[in-house]
Amino acid sequence: MSIRTRNWLLLAPAGTLFLALLIVPLTVVLVFSFGERAPAGGVVPAFTLEQYANLPARWTAFKNTLTLAPIGTLAALLIAYPLAYFLAVRADPRWKTILLILVIVPFWTSILIRSYAWIFLLGGRGLPALLEWIGIDGVRLINTPFAVLVGIVYGYLPLMVFPIYVSLERLDKRLLEASSDLGAPPWRTFLQVTLPLSVPGIATGCMLVFILLMGEFLIPAMLGGGKVFFVGNALVDLFLQSRNWAYGSAVAVALVVIMLITVTVYMRLLNRLGASRDDVAIM
């Protein structure tokens, strides 16, 4: 068997899956998005831009997604970084494994069940009741953007923790000693050595969480109570409730395009950040 054949064999399973489950469905969705609505679901083949012209009708869903996904990513980063830092740098090696397992333990239960728990916690008899008891009245948490934010940060935190943890764990601790030896106090060592060297982990974590948040529908549905709609919820509604496949396809295509643009811009920015560090002689 030649190397070439073997290479193809290595790629075959993933390639087939990719083609069958991504390229083909996406093409179908793209074709549908130019069609017309059929009465009982399905699409009447056509070439019309009508569905795209209708996109502003779902503006709220796009707005919610495009604000809560970045905010959620940022919040997850701010919570995950100190945690990952503690696990990678400070934690006693004997406890490390146990602590890391604790980070993923929530994943052992379905997000559905965990979201129910949050419904209770944020609902009338949960946190607001507690606040009322200490004298803060009239706080409504459930079915607000805040509830959705709490839900998504909680749900996706491990995905942010792990890439950052790995990049901090791999960081050569002697570099920190070298920085200290050269006269940098701990916080400046963090800003000049630790943080820049953990950028790859931050970038991966943000990318993972952001992309998944853009497609999220379960958490907004449960904790937003139909008041905080994501694009994902719009899609569920259009395909399963209103059975408007053509319009749903246009919304899906729009979401994919937005994601592609954001990710491309993001990658460019990262590359430029990496490149600019080369040019500066001494910062």
Partner 1 sequence: MINEEIDASTLADSQKPIAEFRNVSKRFGSVLAASGLNLKITKGEFLSFLGPSGCGKTTALRMLAGFEAASEGDVLLDGEVVNGLDAHHRPVNMVFQHYALFPHMTVAQNIGYGLKQRRPRLPKSLITEKVGKALDVVRLGGYENRRIWEMSGGQQQRVALARAIINEPKLLLLDEPMAALDRKLRKEMQIELQNLQRQLGITFVLVTHDQEEALSMSDRICVMKDGKIVQVGSPQELYDRPSNRYVAGFVGTSNFFDGKVTRIAGTRASVLLENGVEVEGSSVSQVSVAQSVCISVRPEQIKLHRKGEGANVKVLNRIFLGEHTEYLVKHETLGEFFVLSPRQSELNDGPFNTGDVLFASWEASAALVLDSN
Task: Summarize as ranges the residues that interact with partner 1 (CB under 8 A).
Answer: 172, 174-175, 177-186, 188, 192-193, 196-197, 277-278, 280-283
CB of 54 or CB of 180, closer to partner 1:
180
* CA distance readout (Å), 274 to 128, 267, 270: 46, 11, 6
CB of 115 or CB of 180, closer to partner 1:
180
CB of 180 to partner 1, least distance (A): 4
Per-residue exposure over 16-42, b if at least 16 CB sit within 10 Å of its own CB, e if not: eeeeeeeeeeeeebeebbbbbbeeeee
Please report the beta strands in the chain, taking only residues with DSSP state E, as ranges in sequence order. Answer: 36-37, 43-44
CB of 178 or CB of 257, closer to partner 1:
178
Cβ contact 223:142 at 8 Å:
yes
CB of 83 to partner 1, least distance (A): 23
CB of 3 or CB of 282, closer to partner 1:
282
Instruction: Report d(CA 244, CA 234) in Å as an integer.
Output: 11
CB of 182 to partner 1, least distance (A): 4
CB of 134 or CB of 283, closer to partner 1:
283
* CA-based nearest residue to 72, from 173, 180, 150, 125: 150
DSSP codes, 9-41: HHHHHHHHHHIIIIIHHHHHHHHHHTSEE-TTS
CB of 117 to partner 1, least distance (A): 42
CB of 279 to partner 1, least distance (A): 8
CB of 138 or CB of 185, closer to partner 1:
185
* CA-based nearest residue to 66, from 277, 219, 213: 213
CB of 278 to partner 1, least distance (A): 7
Q: At a CB cut-off of 8 Å and minimum separation 6, what does 124 contact?
A: 142
Instruction: Report d(CA 35, CA 16) in Å as an integer.
Output: 28
Instruction: Report d(CA 272, CA 258) in Å as an integer.
Output: 21
CB of 14 or CB of 281, closer to partner 1:
281
Cβ contact 202:164 at 8 Å:
yes
CB of 184 to partner 1, least distance (A): 5
